Amino acid sequence: MSHNNRHPRANATMLLSGLLCVLSFSVMAKQGDLKQELKIAAASQSADIKNNQIVFYGPVTITQGTININADELRAFTPENSTSKRLIATGKPATFSQELDDGKIGTASANEISYDLATTTLTLTGNAKLDQAGSQVTGNRIKYNIKGQELLAESTGTGQDRVITIIQPENFQDESAPKQKLPEIPVNKQIKP
């Protein structure tokens, strides 16, 4: 038995901590969240020590600080013939949210949220959506490489399915603020020599 297979709970906690770190992709994310206690609440769980896999059956709720992940099922495992650890949260949809430093909430949702620790790649599949401060990217599949800061959004390529990006203006104007009065410009005023 390898060292990794002796402590499946510790491996799952390490994997989940890695996922939470990656999902905090916003530079404005609460900095103290990842220093908080990590809590996984599930209806049940099973560990396959031989195959280095833990499955949490739902509803599953993961919390750490202001980070919240909700899923129907969460699997933490190492794929066969690989040293990479992977997490897969599934649901209708599986969701992620975190409060940002400015008090706004950043969210991600998809039928499947997968994270590969070795490649630092987050993949949202099936009704994928990223939303931060009102700006959104939606598609069938969104892949985000954390290290390379590369995002790829794809549609299924059929019918009306499209990748949609909505970008909010950086400075919203407050409609209730009093409007500045422009200085009056004299019209047809003759200038005497």
Report pLDDT digits (tens) over 86-134.
889 999 999 988 887 778 888 889 999 988 877 878 899 999 998 877 7
The tens digit of pLDDT for each residue in 31-73 reads 677 678 878 899 999 998 888 889 999 899 988 888 888 999 9
Tell whether 53 is covered by a domain.
yes
Tell whether 164 is covered by a domain.
no
User: What is the mean predicted confidence (pLDDT) over 1-9?
Assistant: 48
The pLDDT confidence band at residue 5, using thresholds 50, 70 and 90, is very low
Tell whether 8 is covered by a domain.
yes
Considering the chain, what is the average pLDDT of its residues?
A: 75
Q: What is the pLDDT of residue 180?
A: 45
Tell whether 31 is covered by a domain.
yes
Domain hosting residue 51, numbered range: 3-119
Q: What is the pLDDT of residue 64?
A: 82
Count the neighbouring beta carbons within 10 Å of the beta carbon of residue 106: 23
**Pair of tokens at residue 150:** 């590369």
Task: Please state, in angstroms and rounded to a whole number, the distance separating the CA atoms of residues 127 and 102.
Answer: 27
Q: What is the pLDDT of residue 28?
A: 47
- Residue 10, SS3? helix
100 close to 29: Cβ distance less than 8 angstroms:
yes
Is pLDDT larger for residue 101 or for residue 183?
A: 101
Q: What is the pLDDT of residue 187?
A: 45
The CATH number that applies at residue 14 is: 2.60.450.10
